[in-house]
Amino acid sequence: MTATVPRQLVHRAAVAEVFLTGWSVLDGERTRVLAQWPRAHSLYRPVGGRYDPMLAAETIRQAGVLVAHSVHGVPLGHRFLMWGLHFAVHPENLAVGSRPAELELDVVFTEIRGSGSRLGGRYTVTIRSAGRVVATGGAHFTCTSPAVYRRLREARLAQSATAGVVAGADLPSVPPASVGRDSASDVVLAPGGAPRRWQLRVDTGHPILFDHPDDHVPGMVLLEAARQAAAAVSPPGAAPLPVSMDNTFDRYVEFDTPCWIEAEVPDGRPDSLRIVGRQDGEQVFGCLLTTSPSGA
């Protein structure tokens, strides 16, 4: 574990944002992946002395992309359509120690359809540190070639070519402290004019959330919006730890029209929050998030 995997294999531009350090194939479905989490991160900062669970979400995303490229033959440059991503962490095993966390991931691909440029399916990930389970999760995805992706997107992109980013960083942010942030530059929610409702605030210049240019809002931005929504509806100073998230991505979130983030408490689930993203009257994102108020 002396270097990261090539950044192209996890769809990252910045080497500093690559958390994976190696892999070995165990059999046709299982791959062992190694990773490391930094003790401090510019966006995913420790919460109550514990690693930010969003690191688990990003690590699960990277693991699936890596295995798809390196084991299942998806060519570089192909697009991944992520339909869902979920994770759950074990807070008691998330404590930040005196050294970066050295992680071992068991990645299992299931329901595999096609191969190479037409690969699709699901995968699960178990993340361990020193033999203890830190997090579990997985995702559902399909892959497509650049040519097919262009055909899928060309009409919508032509429609929005002159509109620009309507939900950009010039929107006023909610108070950073209310969503667990120190700086407005890291806030992805703007006031929405109603309780438990916000407008997605998109800053395409953000070095982490927009690591590289894209033609739609990345999924990790939506996960961050859900996490910030949970903080916004928590008591002041509670610093809730998101211990599980089950996310669905129903449609691309476009840059040229507002995306509204709404939150509600599901019946009989006082420790949970259901977050929905809507754009042009359609649901584009859904999340069921469970928090631990004390981070315990």
Domain CATH number, residue 284: 3.10.129.10
> Which pTM was predicted?
0.94
Structure tokens at 23: 């892999």
Asked if residue 1 belongs to a domain, the reply is: no
Asked if residue 2 belongs to a domain, the reply is: no
Percent of the chain scoring above 70 in pLDDT: 95
| DSSP per-residue string spanning 132-174 | EEEEEEEEEEEEE-HHHHHHHHHHHHHHHTTT--TT-TTSPPP
Read off φ and ψ for residue 171, nearest 5 degrees: -65, 145
State residue 267's pLDDT score. 78
Q: Which of 144, 161, 186 is the last residue of a domain?
A: 144
Residues 208 and 128 grouped into a single domain: no
State residue 220's pLDDT score. 97
Asked if residue 167 belongs to a domain, the reply is: yes
Asked if residue 221 belongs to a domain, the reply is: yes
Q: Which of 112, 144, 176 is the last residue of a domain?
A: 144
Residues 152 and 100 grouped into a single domain: no
The lowest-confidence range among 62-66, 106-110, 163-167, 205-209 is 163-167
Dihedral Cα 123, 129, 131, 132, nearest 10 deg: -80
Report the C-alpha gap between 53 and 35 in whole angstroms: 15
> Average pLDDT, stretch 13-24?
97
State residue 162's pLDDT score. 58
Most confident of 108-112, 147-151, 248-252: 248-252
DSSP for residue 131: T
Q: Above 80 in pLDDT, residue 296?
A: no
Residues 270 and 250 grouped into a single domain: yes
Total structural domains in the chain?
2
Q: Above 90 in pLDDT, residue 47?
A: no
Q: Which of 110, 129, 144 is the last residue of a domain?
A: 144
Contact 44, 55 (CB under 8 A): yes
Residues 30 and 154 grouped into a single domain: no
Asked if residue 296 belongs to a domain, the reply is: no
For residue 65, give the H/E element and its range. helix 54-70
Asked if residue 69 belongs to a domain, the reply is: yes
Contact 219, 60 (CB under 8 A): no
Q: Above 80 in pLDDT, residue 293?
A: no
Structure tokens at 193: 């004019």
Asked if residue 45 belongs to a domain, the reply is: yes
Q: Give the domain range for residue 59.
A: 7-144
State residue 270's pLDDT score. 72
